[in-house]
Amino acid sequence: MKRLLKYFNVYVFSGSIFLIILFLNACKQTDKTSEEISNVQIDLDIYRFDREFAAASPGSIPDLKSKYPYLFPSQFPDSIWIAKLTDTIQVELSDEVEKAFGDFEEETNDLESLFQHITYYFPKFKTPKVVTVTSDVRYNDRVILADTLLMLGLDNYLGADHHFYKSIQRYIAAGLDKQYLTSDVASAIAKKVLKYPRNRSFLSRMVYYGKELYIKDKVLPSISDAQKIGYTLEEMEWSMNNEEQIWRYFVEKELLYSTDAKLDRRFLDPAPFSKFQLELDSESPGRLGRYMGWQIVKAFMEKNNLTLKQLLNLPADEIFKKSNYKPRK
């Protein structure tokens, strides 16, 4: 018996040493990757049009039009822009953005890090010129990425409880906070490298959004998972605590391979809550299908040694089958 215990202890000790070695090797690889990313050279130009317009006079409008022609549609005369300089709402928008962002230094650092990570994983990516604007709180267009131009409507990031957002539904206003700015930019970029699935199954669309969130895992390693998916901390905790029940519902109701378009509205599209058609609905956050797709993709990548670009080209069904996904309990 003593000899058996001796061998058992040696086995456990050896196993522990093996796990420690694996952990240390993983740390070394992570450190090496972080160092390589920090050395990526990018040219990031940020133009504060919102500040320039706020400080403009009628006489400087022609110069602004010359510098930012895409912000001044030709069908509008200069009198429109001159009147806007003193418009009460425009002046208040500019003042509130200035209070919230100031010199934009923190956000500039965050964007620089984001673009370094994106360039590392997608070497052909060209860092866009960034132009900050006020957009009359057009929150659906708060981030616009067009070729080599990225426009950020900063008046859409003043905080969920800002008085500008009182008439906006609470679940939408919750995302109008600057903590989500770089995450929104990453989403815009992810949509450029991801192809929306032709397969109409619920699983395919879940995994599509899961890929988008996994891209954020790689290019935004310093922000929280809640920020990546656009949840509050409480919503993120609810999702994690109920992951097993969510998955059981999807499986038991045979939703994974369903092509019912209503599932998008219930579990994928922005909404105040997910629609299980159960009493717990009001407690749940929206877009839980995206959250579950994320967990499937993460489980797959933990078990398969693939690059990020290789992952993006794989069909959802293959990712799901090879993930051996098991929900946390």
CA distance 267 to 286: 6
Per the rule left: phi > 0, alpha: psi between -120 and 50, beta: everything else, 110 is alpha
The whole-number pLDDT of residue 28 equals: 54
Give the burial class of 125: count Cβ atoms within 10 A of its Cβ; 0-12 exposed, 13-18 middle, 19 or more buried: middle
Residue carrying structure tokens 């996994």: 214
In single-letter form, the type of residue at position 68 comes to Y
pLDDT of residue 281: 86
- pLDDT value of residue 266: 97
User: What is the full per-residue pLDDT of the chain (329 aa) written as tens digits?
Assistant: 555 444 445 444 445 554 454 444 545 556 788 899 988 999 999 999 999 999 999 999 999 999 999 999 999 999 999 999 999 999 999 999 999 999 999 999 999 999 999 999 999 999 999 999 999 999 999 999 998 999 999 999 999 999 999 999 999 999 999 999 999 999 999 999 999 999 999 999 999 999 999 999 999 999 999 999 999 999 999 999 999 999 999 999 999 999 999 999 999 999 999 999 988 788 999 999 999 999 999 999 999 999 999 999 999 999 999 999 999 87
The residue written with tokens 């993983």 in the block is 26
pLDDT in tens, 106-148: 999 999 999 999 999 999 999 999 999 999 999 999 999 998 9
Nearest residue to 158 via CA among 115, 225, 94: 94
> C-alpha distances in angstroms, 123 versus 175, 185, 306?
30, 18, 17
pLDDT of res. 280: 79
pLDDT number for residue 313: 93
User: What does the alpha-carbon distance between residue 153 and residue 131 come to, in Å, rounded to a whole number?
Assistant: 9
pLDDT score of 30 = 64
pLDDT, residue 67, reads 97
Give strand pairing partners of 158: 177
Place of tokens 């539904």: 169
**Cα-only R_g, the chain:** 24
**Would you say the C-alpha torsion 228, 233, 236, 237 has a positive or negative sign?**
positive
Taking the C-alpha atoms of residue 312 and residue 208, their distance in angstroms, rounded to an integer, is 9
**Residues 6+ positions from 32 with CB-CB distance below 8 Å:** none
**Beta-sheet strand order (sheet of 129-133):** 46-47, 129-133, 149-153, 143-146
> Whose CA is closest to 183, among 134, 236, 147?
236
Cα angle: 237, vertex 276, 297; to 5 degrees: 55
What are 140-155's pLDDT values in tens digits?
999 999 989 999 999 9
pLDDT at 82: 96
pLDDT at 222: 95
**DSSP tag of 197:** P
- Give me the pLDDT at residue 8, please: 41
DSSP string, 13-44: HHHHHHHHHHHHHHHHHHHHHHHHHHT-----
Considering the entire predicted model, what is its pTM?
0.89
Distance of CA 145 to the CA centre of its chain: 14
**What is the predicted pLDDT for the residue at 7?**
44
- Which pLDDT value is given to residue 32? 83
Provide the sign of the torsion angle of the four alpha carbons 261, 263, 266, 270, taken in this order: negative
